Structure 1
Amino acid sequence: MERPDVIRKTPHDLRVPPNLSSYGDECRGFSWDLARQALSGLPGGGLNIGFEAVDRQAAGALRDHIALRFVARHAPALDLSYGELARQTSRFANVLQGLGVGKGDCLFVMAGRIPELYIAVLGALKNGTVVTPMFSAFGPEPVATRINIGAGQVLVTTDLLYQRKVKAMRGQMPTLRHVLLVAEEGGITNEPGTLDLATLMLNASDGFSTVETKPDDPALLHFTSGTTGTPKGAIHVHDAVVAHHATGRFALDLHPDDRYWCTADPGWVTGTSYGIIAPLLHGVTSLIDREEFDAERWYTLLQQESITVWYTAPTAIRMLMKSGLELARRHRFPDLRFVASVGEPLNPEAVWWGMEAFGLPIHDNWWQTETGGIMIANTPAFDIKPGSMGRPLPGIAACIVERLEAEGEPPRVRVIEAPDVEGELALKAGWPSMFRGYLNNEARYRRCFAGDLYLTGDLARRDADGYYWFVGRADDVIKSAGHLIGPFEVESVLMEHPAVAEAGVIGKPDPVVGEVVKAFVSLKDGHAPDEALRLDILAHARKRLGAAVAPKEIAFLPVLPRTRSGKIMRRLLKARELGLPEGDISTLEGGA
């Protein structure tokens, strides 16, 4: 049966009154100054993310409410109330002060989803220390590279990770003064040249006054990898907390009694902004699963933990799809009311699959490391156009532009007013979580702006209803016989084939047409990668897309290369296909 282009929402679809119910009225009446009034602020006009997320809540009615619930396969659940989280983060802030680490110094954290990681991030923020989360799966070289770029003075990690990824490189990180270790097997660590975090915490006071930080003081340093060269460090400030609060309210529809699960690793910006900060700002209980992805386990957690709001990634959704609907239907999710996804555009097939698996569509949204928070989203009360990333949130002014500048000149653009014209997505600067620079690379930062417009590097179009549609990264778009082909459109159609679990599309050089479309696909369980299936997928694509846009070649892969945040690495597919340098692959899932 052919599916409609729009999923219509009715009052029956809403379990609770939505935070964003009148899009036009909210956008017209919204201001960031007004949004700041929802937070307490520090005496004297300061603002601090750690204080707003933890101490503000612990000082009120939420003191005994569960803030973080940690679960693991072979250990009992551990609950931290807002009051206990305030005490523990104050202890950690005092540990830093005892080591002479203060405002503006840089702390790196690298660990699995353990309580100490969350305590360290929030305690450091209360201390005015700049925080950089890293994936625990990073190898020694990416760890050293980031610590050196950020002039990291403190590293919080585990004893096993230190031995495997840091110890041999320690002499190559001249700014790193202190390494605080968590014993993975419990007890204390005795690694030479390090400090045992448990001992330091035991001897620290749980009384602490948040260091006075101003809204524009640096708070977070998030690294983002480019196609070549070293990773870029995007600087975010304490004022970002205003956007974390507003977007948690609008895009994730967080209510105080929610039980929330963000599956993102804290090493990724989503795992910090929406896995740590935003839910605490709203006083909800966050589930934190210390285990890696397992379809049966995830369904069980959604059911047993009575999750109401779930924020995950397209990769996870595609892996759940690959495991089959029958597994999902062996579980019940009566409390689940809202599912959202981020990391890369969500194919329409995945949005509809949510209806079959959960009785709920999956709501895509869009943002970047540089934006620091969700910018464009599908929200609970409004109709969904599967394949669209939604509409700009209140306080966000987006547009589609055409670049006009010549090589080497400052960026200039023309705003495209007409609907359904492809161009570059741009945002008017001024939202609080906007990055304030690339560390030690001011020239690169300036190239991201044309006047007061931030140029995202993503190609998109806006339809007549104001919904935005992702086309592809500017350097991913395929030019074939005069056609500009967005890889996402082709990938979405390929995923409609019943055998296809994932698809990645590249342009392959061709002497006649410039580039031809080549697709790499991984298959759902139970399908063999044979010639008959390849021809069937090609025929399906040609029928849906036409001969000019459909792939000319299809290759089968067991899995597609993707980052730990879930993005399929098209540039890596292309580099391997053409024998080109692979560039920075430090964020590649599973390592290089």
Structure 2
Amino acid sequence: MDNGAMEGSLCNKINNIGYFCTERQCIDGHTDNTALTLISGDFNCSEATYGQINDHSSCFAQVLSNLNIFKGETVVLLLPKCSMQYFVFLGTLKKQCVIAPFFHNIGYEALADRLRDCRASVAVTTSAGAAKIKKIKEYIPFLKYCLITDADVHEDGCFLSLPFLMKEAPLLFDIQDTDLDTASVLHYTSGSTGRPKGVVHTHRTLEMQRHTFDEIFQLKEDDIYWCTAEAAWVTGSSYGIIAPMSCGAHQVQYTGSYNLSGWLKVLENYGITVWYTAPTALRMMMRDAASSGGAYKGSLKRIYSVGEPLNPEIMRWCGRFFGVDIYDTWFQTETGAVTIANRPGLPVRQGSMGKPVKGINASVRDDEGNALKWGEQGEIHLEQFSSLFVNYLNNSEEYSRKFINGLYRTGDKAYVDSEGYFWFQGRSDDIINTGGHLVSPFEVESAILEIDGILDVAVVGLPDDMLYEKVAAFIVTGAGYSAEDLMLKVRIHTANTVSSIAAPQEIIIQDKIPKNKSGKIMRRLLKSAYLGENAGDRSTIEED
């Protein structure tokens, strides 16, 4: 789908992501075209055209102006999937504020940490989200407004009714000239040794997001697209909002939770032709279809996956069950757009990441930044490109450490074969990839240590047939405590303070946590012992 080139100077309205996703689509004749079909869990359906999303996003931008929110201030999006999510996301960008999407089920402590770090001026959420914010309000004094989407009246000067504010605001907003390097989207990504880092992107990312959507997904005018990712995940913002809308696509969003019959109903009844999802979801469908005997009868042309390696077994099952090809893609929060991918026109090598997309120069290198030969395992490095992040918020030192000789170090290990295909081999740090979501072991450990009866803890990712990796907590307990006593407490507390995704799937009691002489947890020793593998070098372990 081609909806106009991104012409214009470095500072021009046309550079604005919000403009290109809405107003530009209307200028190009798509005002009455369906942009979004929203399907609830009980299959009530509503639609929004490009004209309607343009109007309501402009209205939200005007609300920000009426509240004296200025360019560069941060707006946190704390909503489940809904049409308002699109209005707020794109309206914030029209205003040249920074949009920071959070998972709506985020825990209290994680929410407070992120709100403090980004010094959010505005949070947009439901009454349930507002209740969380009220509990932590004393820790975030700089938050000016909490705009509540399901409140009819204002509570006080801070907690305001968003429907009331939007009813009072016009459906027009004059988007100002936007420099390509103006900050746009802020995503938090997990760190292995500290708090999650705020990844800063700019309006310049739009070029790469549109280009990759066209090169990889290859939608036609009559295609209907479904990206299952939440907006808080970079896939959900880049390929669930920005890329499809800036290309004039018709997309579907399902607000219900996963179940096989529900997802098949969405795929079949709403004419999905191009589907972007995660391997964990496909593994769940494979499991459930085997037990229920479910069958697919729909219009799919292609499936794409992201977030974790796509194993050949899933690829074969998708071919049998859906009768279409599936293409694995790879990118990170930091890259902002897909950089290595399988796609139509490129022969698929089952289990590979594919090849770099146009405009991406990728290589595999050793720890010193030296290029490696075919078949040699190292770390994926990328040359600079338009959607690459520009900083870690409040952490420029860590940002600088991500580059060597001008190349971005991804932290992902791989090798390249003789035909130029990349093959993923794992992470070079301790980050856990569970169900396509990255979890910081440090953040989970910090939460678990707050629980009475736990003296020490190490959190490790262990192989899992369904999730790729599961979160496991190795704990040292006080006298009289058992794993059974603590399992429920650990899961509930972690879900409330970090997120439900980070809650450990397994607890293993330890006499002690192995650490090196500088006090760093030796996670590889715990993992190898659990798996019955050789632990390797133990010379740096701290002795009693």
Tell me the TM-score range normalised by the shorter chain: 0.7 to 0.9
The aligned counterpart of 1:175 is 142
With over 3 angstroms needed to count, the CA separation of the structure-2 counterparts of 1:392 and 1:199, relative to structure 1, is same
The alpha-carbon deviation at position 314 of structure 1 amounts to 1.3
User: Paired residue for 1:204, among 150, 169, 187?
Assistant: 169
Superposition deviation, residue 520 in structure 1: 4.7
Query: What is aligned with 1:452?
Result: 406
Q: Is this contact kept in 1: 2:3–2:25, CA < 8 A?
A: no
Q: Does 1:236 align with 2:190?
A: no
1:40-439 mapped onto 2 (5 Å cutoff): 41=8, 45-46=12-13, 47-74=15-42, 76-163=44-131, 165-183=132-150, 188-192=152-156, 193-325=158-290, 329-333=294-298, 335-404=299-368, 413-416=369-372, 418-429=373-384, 431-439=385-393
TM-score under structure 2 normalisation?
0.79
Which digits, 9 at most, give the CA deviation of each residue in 1:487-526, with x for residues without a partner? 99xx9xxxxxxxxxxxxxxxxxxxxxxxxx99654589xx
Measure how far apart 1:570 and its partner are. Answer: 13
The Cα shift of 1:76 comes to: 2.7
Return the alpha-carbon distance in structure 2 between the equivalents of residues 569 and 166 of structure 1. 20
- In structure 1, what is the Cα distance between the partners aligned to 2:199 and 2:57? 25
The letter of the residue matching 1:414 is N
The 3 A distance-change label for structure 1 pair 415 and 112 is same
After TM superposition, the structure 1 = structure 2 runs for residues 548-567 of structure 1, keeping only pairs within 5 Å, are none
- Which amino acid in the other structure matches residue 429 of structure 2? D
CA gap of 1:40–1:116, structure 2 versus 1, over 3 A, is: farther
Q: CA deviation at 1:321?
A: 1.3
User: Match of 2:376, as an amino acid?
Assistant: V
| Equivalent pair of 1:188/1:196 in contact (CA under 8 Å) | yes
Identify the match of residue 442 of structure 1 among 396, 399, 421: 396
How far apart, CA to CA, are the structure 1 residues paired with 2:8 and 2:501?
Answer: 40
Counterpart of 1:471 (choices 425, 434, 447) is 425
How many residue pairs get aligned? The number is 463
Aligned partner of residue 309 in structure 2, secondary structure: coil
Superimposed CA distance per residue, residues 424-481 of structure 1 (whole angstroms, 9 cap, x where no aligned partner): 110111x11100000111111111111221111111000011110000101369xxxx
Percent identity of paired positions between Structure 1 and Structure 2: 35
Following superposition, the deviation at residue 568 of structure 1 comes to 9.7
Cα-to-partner distance string for 1:158-212 (whole Å, 9 max, x where unaligned) = 012211x2111112102100110011xxx61443431100011111111111122
Give the drift of 1:36.
12
Instruction: Give the CA deviation at 1:40.
Output: 5.0
Take 2:26 and 2:509, find their aligned partners in 1: how far apart are those partners?
A: 52
Deviation track 1:249-279 (CA, whole Å, cap 9, x = no partner) reads 1122223322100000111111100011111
SS of residue paired to 2:201: strand
1:574 deviates by 10
Deviation at residue 228 of structure 1 after TM alignment: 3.0
1:380-435 Cα distance to aligned partner (Å, 9 max, x none): 2221111101000000000010112xxxxxxxx1111x211101110111x11100
Gaps of 5+ in 1: 1-18, 20-34, 405-412, 478-486, 492-516, 525-556, 584-592
User: Which residue of 2 is the match for residue 38 of structure 1?
Assistant: 5
Query: Which residue identity is paired with 1:451?
Result: N
Are the counterparts in 1 of residues 12 and 177 from structure 2 also a CA contact under 8 Å? no
**Secondary structure at 2:147's aligned position in 1?**
strand
8 Å contact from structure 1 (residues 363, 379) kept in 2 = yes
Task: Report the alpha carbon displacement of residue 345 of structure 1 after superposing the two structures with TM.
Answer: 1.2
Alpha carbons of 1:154 and 1:521: their partners in 2 closer, same or farther (altered >3 Å)?
Answer: closer
What letter corresponds to residue 116 of structure 2 in structure 1?
Answer: N
Deviation at 1:42, TM superposition (A): 7.5
CA distance in 1, matches of 2:195, 2:356: 31
Letter in 1 for 2:147: L
Distance 2:503 2:305 in 1: 20
Q: Deviations over 1:518-543 (max 9, x none)?
A: 9654589xxxxxxxxxxxxxxxxxxx
Q: Distance in 1 between matches of 2:463 and 2:509?
A: 12
Q: Could you tell me whether the CA contact under 8 Å between 2:223 and 2:274 is conserved in 1?
A: yes
- Taking a change above 3 Å as real, the CA distance of residues 570 and 463 of structure 1, as seen in their structure-2 partners, is farther
Supply the AA of the counterpart residue of 1:443: E
1:353, 1:361 within 8 Å by CA — same for their partners in 2?
A: no
Taking the aligned partners of 1:174 and 1:518, their CA distance within structure 2 comes to: 36
> SS at 1:152's partner residue?
coil
Distance of 2:167 and 2:501 partners within structure 1? 44
Following the alignment from structure 2 to structure 1, what is the Cα–Cα distance between the partners of residues 410 and 10?
Answer: 36
Structure 1 residues 437 and 224: alpha-carbon distance in aligned structure 2, compared to 1, 3 A threshold: same
C-alpha separation in 1, matches of 2:148 and 2:128: 9
Once the two structures are TM-superposed, the CA of residue 366 in structure 1 deviates from its matched residue by 0.5
Secondary structure in 1 matching 2:28 = coil
Q: Distance in 2 between matches of 1:573 and 1:215?
A: 46
Relative to structure 1, the CA distance from residue 230 to residue 518 in structure 2 (aligned partners, 3 Å threshold; closer, same or farther) is closer
Is the contact made by 1:51 and 1:210 (CA closer than 8 Å) also made in structure 2? yes
Give the Cα separation in 2 of the matches to 1:449 and 1:339: 33
Distance in 2 between residues matched to 1:140 and 1:252, nearest whole Å: 37
Deviation, structure 1 residue 328 = 7.0
Measured in 1, the distance between the counterparts of 2:502 and 2:351 equals 19
